[in-house]
Amino acid sequence: FHSRTSWSVYYGGLDPSLRKVGWRLLLSVFPADTTGQERISLLESKTRQYASLRQAWKLAYAQGRLSEEQLATLASVSIDVVRTDWTNPYYLGEENRFRVCQLFDLLATYCIYHPNVGYSQGMSDLASPLLVIQSEEAPAYLCFCSLMKRVKSNFHSSEQSGLMTKIRHLHDLLVYTDPHLAHFLRMHGLSDMFFTQRWLMLELKREFCFPDCLRLFEIQWATVAMVRALSQTENHVSNSKSEGYLVLAEQTHVFPPIFSHTSPTSVAYPSGYTSRDVSLINSLIGSPYVVRLSGSSRPVLSRLASDDISRCDPSPDNFHSNSPPVCSAANPGAADDDASSSHSDSDSSFAGLLRPATSSNNVFALGLDSLSSNDGSLSKTQCVRRRAHRVEHAPAVSDLTRYGSVRSIKSVTRLPAPDQFGQGNPFLLFLCLSLLLEYREDLLASVNEASDMIAFYQRKSKQHNLSRVLTRARAHFSAYLAEQKWTLDGCVPSRFL
């Protein structure tokens, strides 16, 4: 996007009819200096590459060549996608189940080929709006790869210092803006700001209703683009037309070789891996790739493989088919229990955030969704692996505190520069600040301990007035930029004028 266009999006958002193309430009899916025809050619090339990557891991799954860690990743993705935005009309109903399968394919492809990032709960929340707007799997995958380049530190187990830095920045912003409210939180054991983890990690995706989230996302992306232009320190190949632009796979050689005795339809997985472990994956992956465990007589898996799955294989040859694939599945095993018990409204749920604790430093855990009611529907092996995966990859408080605690300070005289503030997305911090100030008097009157804060925002989830939150956030952001001697008008820092 031209900087002035980003400025326009920052103030007004995009017309819904422009979002499909506009989001690709905001997320830098295409090099900045490409023509319309070059973008079409690049999209076609990347679409073929994506289809090839997706087919490769699906074949590896069917042939039993995935590692236990890769299988656990697929299991985690399959559990989350059937619960992500499940009340949204785009996914609702059997006639739209193929779209849930597309979301599964998108996330699974990314996680398989980005093993250093892997999968963590919450990634599906970021991918889902991209698929809804793009309405096609490959362009949504390109957008997701581009978005993850910036936000992967929220999920990457070795880079969780990034999320901790955002929390510290938000704390400092609150102290700088409203010392009284900051003091109040400090006196009630909330100065660590861990209750804002989900806000920062998912960039407020779960705090607002879906249409508002779409607008919030594009406004934030426009701000990110403007800050990059302002900082004049952008080092990525945003203007490059090279073949390597927007790499779709961090690693491509992620599977062991095919052995001659391996049958693609009869697989002996590692000891202890049961049909329940793969049944939900089978319901989403497409019938050509369904796994039948050798030596298993479980009728559920047999019915699933032969009767309950109907889905067109989105191979490279029919990837652009005008008629959408039809996917219908009677949710087997884990899917039944998982989908029915996990959500009265999963997107607004804070269940699982609290853990027994005696110190405020470990009161909050990430807990993007509670699985306490669902684990009983899974095999013991899968539950153990899923919990282990969450411990390894999800930035719970115990992980975050390794990177230092939030400083309990009483005053802040200067905030970081925009290109450093909020890890490159400073406006997100001001949105979070605005969300706190929106209910300032209510918080002062009703919060006595950490759990009160969680309960308060649980009740308010998806009921926030976006217009008020945005207006307040923009006002504080403009004042901050003025103090920093930056201006977004024309996207030129005033210090360079």
Q: What is the pLDDT of residue 379?
A: 43
- For residue 79, what pLDDT is reported? 95
**How far is Cα 205 from Cα 129, in angstroms, rounded to an integer?**
9
Q: Has residue 378 got a pLDDT over 70?
A: no
Average pLDDT over residues 399-425: 72
Look at residues 117, 130, 121 and name the one whose alpha carbon lies nearest to residue 75. 121
How high is the pLDDT of residue 366?
A: 40
Task: Judge whether residue 24 has pLDDT over 50.
Answer: yes
- Band (pLDDT 50/70/90 cuts) for residue 118 is very high
Mean pLDDT value of segment 469-487? 93
**What's the pLDDT at 156?**
72
As a whole number of angstroms, the distance between CA 72 and CA 118 comes to 10
Nearest to 250 by CA among 405, 99, 109, 416: 109
pLDDT at residue 155 above 60?
A: yes
**pLDDT band at residue 251 under the 50/70/90 scheme:** confident
Query: Is the per-residue pLDDT at 432 higher than 90?
Result: yes
Q: Is a pLDDT exceeding 70 seen at residue 400? A: no
**Rg of the chain over CA atoms, in angstroms?**
23
How far is residue 464 from each of residues 52, 168, 209, 292, 432, measured CA to CA in Å?
A: 42, 24, 8, 47, 12
Question: Residue 266 in 3-state DSSP?
Answer: strand
157 vs 235, residue with greater confidence: 157
- The pLDDT of 337-348, averaged and rounded, is 38
Q: Are 328 and 94 in contact (CB under 8 A)?
A: yes
pLDDT at 182 over 50: yes
Q: In angstroms, rounded to a whole number, what is the distance separating the alpha carbons of residues 190 and 167?
A: 12
Q: Specify the range with the lowest mean pLDDT, choosing from 6-10, 335-339, 474-478, 481-485.
A: 335-339
Average pLDDT over residues 387-396: 43
Q: Is 35 helix (H, G, I), strand (E, B) or coil?
A: coil
Q: Is the pLDDT of residue 250 over 70?
A: yes
> 96-100, 302-306, 346-350: which has the minimum mean pLDDT?
302-306
Residues above pLDDT 90, as percent of the chain: 53
Please give the span between the terminal C-alpha atoms of the chain, in angstroms, as a whole number.
22
Q: What is the pLDDT of residue 158?
A: 59
CA distance linking residue 407 with residue 182, whole number of Å: 12
pLDDT for residue 423 is more than 50: yes
pLDDT in tens, 273-297: 457 668 899 999 998 999 887 654 3
Backbone angles phi, psi at 194, to 5 degrees: -65, -15
Q: Which residue has the higher pLDDT, 422 or 267?
A: 422
Query: Which segment of 157-161, 314-318, 476-480 scores lowest on mean pLDDT?
Result: 314-318
Distance of alpha carbon 494 from alpha carbon 497, whole angstroms: 5
Residue 42 has pLDDT above 80, yes or no: yes
Question: Distance of CA 185 to CAs 141, 351, 485, Å?
Answer: 40, 21, 30
pLDDT for the residue 49: 96
The pair phi, psi for residue 316, each rounded to 5°, is: -55, -30
The mean of the pLDDT values for the chain is 76
